[in-house]
Chains A and B, each alone.
Chain A
Amino acid sequence: MSVLSGRAPASPPGTALTGPITPALRPRRRSRGTGGMSTRVGWLFILPNLIGFLIFTLVPLIGGVGISFTDWNVISGLSGIKWVGLQNFAELITDGTFWAAVGRTVIYAGVGVPLTMAGGLVLALCLNGPVFGRAVLRVIFFIPHIVSSIALGFVWLILLHPTAGLVNLALESLGINDPPGWLVSQQWSLLSLVFITSWAGMGFHAVIFLSAMQALPTELYEAAELDGAGAWTRFTTITWRALMPTTTFLFIMSLIGHSQGFGLIAFLTQGGPGDSSTTLSYLMYQTGFQNYRFGDAAAMGMLSFVGVLLLTVFFWRFQRGRGLYT
């Protein structure tokens, strides 16, 4: 439980205490066992990582924000940077292509995130109890999470082949004539990608949910059962509320995953057919790395970031006070 409280647990019995007072009586700062540390040592330990963080994350991030206020075609090198203020954003807001991509991202995430999370939760609930071959099942559901999106993409590419893929051959044998073309059809390409993404992420969600469930104290359930609570009541009053922090974490992870989802789209459909699966992240890649309009791409990145941030904050506030541990 120390992970939750972020505080070191009191020493186990039998550990010789060298300090004059027991940890429980110490102020919080000291209980982390800092034992009169000089500031310099802390900085030395953090330095290698911090330098890398500054060079490869923080400075690029600030640079990315800066670039979004410029008009810059990379071909002309560093001299070609022109400061244009909010012009990129103003252009984007009136740009139909941009809004279409935003709409597709909303569909991609709006269908994909709930689907992945609900699937993961249901799987976890089923696995949280006696089931034949539970450990093996857990591994099976998790496998897509560790396989590269290109290898997954290849499998689905041949499974969803419009005329000779296993999926459509199965559908035809069930009497469905003229099944959809999936990845090569304007109507179905985005939904096919949603399905593949959710399929690949579900097991990861299930495993995380399951670990959180197994950390819950059984006394709660026993007490609820004695009070005559049925399975559904037990789920809504205990499990669901106790899982809130985990749900929040997975929601954020999944939202980031969907709003930045790139590998599968780039490999399977290149945003097509037409632009039927061009989500915001793919449009950003096209704008920046195929058309070399860095300013516009960075501005899209900023807007996408703001969107994810707002949704994250919103979800955070929504779940606050609904958890079991508050």
Chain B
Amino acid sequence: MISTEVTGGPVGVKTKLVPRRRRRNRTTYVIKSILLWTFSLLFLLPFAWMVSSSLKRNIDVFSIPPKWIPNPIEWANYVEVWLHGDPSMAIFFSNSITVSLIGVLGDLTTASMAGYAFARLSFAGRDKIFLLYLATAIVPSQLLLIPRFMFFQQLGLYKTLWALILPGIFTVFGTFLCRQAFLSLPGEFGEAARIDGAGEWRVFFNVYLPQIRPTLAALGIISFVGSWNDYEGPLIMLSDKELFTVPLGLTRFVDADGGLSAGFAMAGSVSSVIPIMIIFLLFQRQFIAALASSGLK
């Protein structure tokens, strides 16, 4: 519990301080706002430059002096990136969507069930198994990738999208997040439903699952973003260009000797960011709340 003693002082004491404090607060408000918005330029300008460069011809991206407003505006970059090239961005997108969507749906299913069991059901060795889950969270990914690579090679799944999809369906993080959410619900719901004769699956599916909708939405996004942006997995598991996901596909705008089609690269980058950005802006509240709850152990 909190060790500091809290004494509620009489309210009258504070009223005297108000005028001076309010003046000081106005000044800090203005200074803080100016500083933070200035600092935010460090985050806004790179993305603004990305959008601006995506509308320039490849040769104009590195023009000196630099131009913020492209002239001429080159929409053709997007057409080029999306429709041409071998394969085009459209192919990379459909691969990424396949991997991410199947992964998210699977992750939500297995993580919510396991999280529910860890939080609400008792079985032999439950807490030991959960500790084992947590212990694997700090293992370097490269150490797992080597045996996984071998494993998929033996199964004949190496160089297929399954090598990316399957590991994404079973996540320790998702299980942890769902367990947190289920723990915060009272146990009485389930007991009431059981007394009314509901089976275990119905208690889970109709009583508890709807209660953690915000967490499921957040986990869905976190899981989607993670798999959409994964680079190391596809780099190791895929070799056929037709199967490349978006991040791996983007690297084709740098050719073997380091030459860069900058306009195309930026058009591709903007395209890759837009879907993630839309999802994030729609659900940012749940997303951030869920991330924050995972940090409160």
Contacts and interface: CB of A to CB of B under 8 A. Distances in A.
Interface stretch (B70-78, B79-87, B179-187): B179-187
Nearest to A164: B62
A156 B50 CA distance: 9
A265 to B, nearest CB: 11
B247 to A, nearest CB: 4
A178 to B, nearest CB: 16
B146 A252 contact: no
Interface string A210-249: 0110010101101110100000000001100000011001
Nearest to A166: B66
B113 A147 contact: no
Contacts of A281: 140, 142
Interface of A is mostly: helix
Interface stretch (A61-69, A92-100, A107-115): A61-69
Interface string B92-128: 0000000000000000011101101111111110100
B134 to A, nearest CB: 11
B3 A45 contact: no
A63 B188 contact: no
Contacts of B129: 46, 50
B114 A150 contact: no
A4 interface: yes
B74 to A, nearest CB: 15
Contacts of A263: 231-232, 247
Given A56-B148, A150-B269, A42 B8 contact: no
Contacts of B265: 154, 157-158
B266 A154 contact: yes
A297 B142 CA distance: 8
A106 interface: no
A2 B183 contact: yes
A216 to B, nearest CB: 10
B89 interface: no
Contacts of A67: 146-147
B140 A260 contact: yes
Nearest to B4: A220
A4 B9 CA distance: 28
Of A60, A165, A289, A324, chain B has the most CB atoms within 10 Å of the CB of A60
A207 B120 CA distance: 30
A148 interface: yes
A226 B122 contact: no
Contact of B192 (A18, A164, A289): A18
A10 interface: yes
A305 B40 contact: no
Interface in B3-57: 3-9, 13-14, 25, 28-29, 32-33, 35-37, 39-40, 42-44, 46-47, 49-50, 53
Contacts of B64: 164, 169
A29 B194 CA distance: 18
A53 to B, nearest CB: 5
B144 interface: yes
A223 B9 CA distance: 7
Interface in B124-157: 124, 126, 129, 132-133, 136, 138-151, 154
Nearest to A30: B187
B69 interface: no
Contacts of B49: 155, 158-159, 166
A217 B2 CA distance: 10
Contacts of B256: none
Given A147-B276, A260-B141, A18 B114 contact: no
B250 interface: yes
A159 B46 contact: yes
A207 B50 contact: no
A164 B6 CA distance: 59
A211 B142 contact: no
Contacts of A211: 288-289, 291-292, 295
A3 B293 contact: yes
Interface in B235-281: 235-236, 246-248, 250-251, 253, 260, 262, 265-266, 268-269, 272-273, 276-277, 280-281
A130 interface: yes
A57 to B, nearest CB: 5
B42 A199 contact: yes
Given A46-B129, A49-B111, A63-B150, A301 B183 contact: no
A131 B37 CA distance: 10
B166 interface: yes
Contacts of B188: 11, 15-19, 23, 33
A302 interface: yes
B284 interface: yes
Contact of A150 (B172, B225, B251): B251
Contacts of A8: 183-187
Contacts of A37: 121-123, 200
A132 interface: yes
B231 A143 contact: no
A98 to B, nearest CB: 14
17 contacts: A15-B188, A19-B191, A39-B122, A42-B117, A56-B166, A60-B151, A64-B143, A123-B36, A137-B37, A148-B231, A150-B250, A238-B4, A252-B138, A263-B247, A301-B140, A302-B143, A304-B143
Interface of A: 2-4, 6-12, 15-19, 23, 29, 31-35, 37, 39-43, 45-46, 48-53, 55-61, 63-65, 67, 74, 78, 123, 126-127, 129-133, 137-144, 146-151, 154-159, 161, 164-166, 169, 199, 203-204, 207-208, 211-212, 215, 217, 219-220, 222-224, 226, 237-238, 245-246, 249-250, 252, 256, 259-260, 262-263, 266-267, 281, 284-285, 288-289, 294, 297-298, 300-302, 304-305, 308-309, 312, 324-326
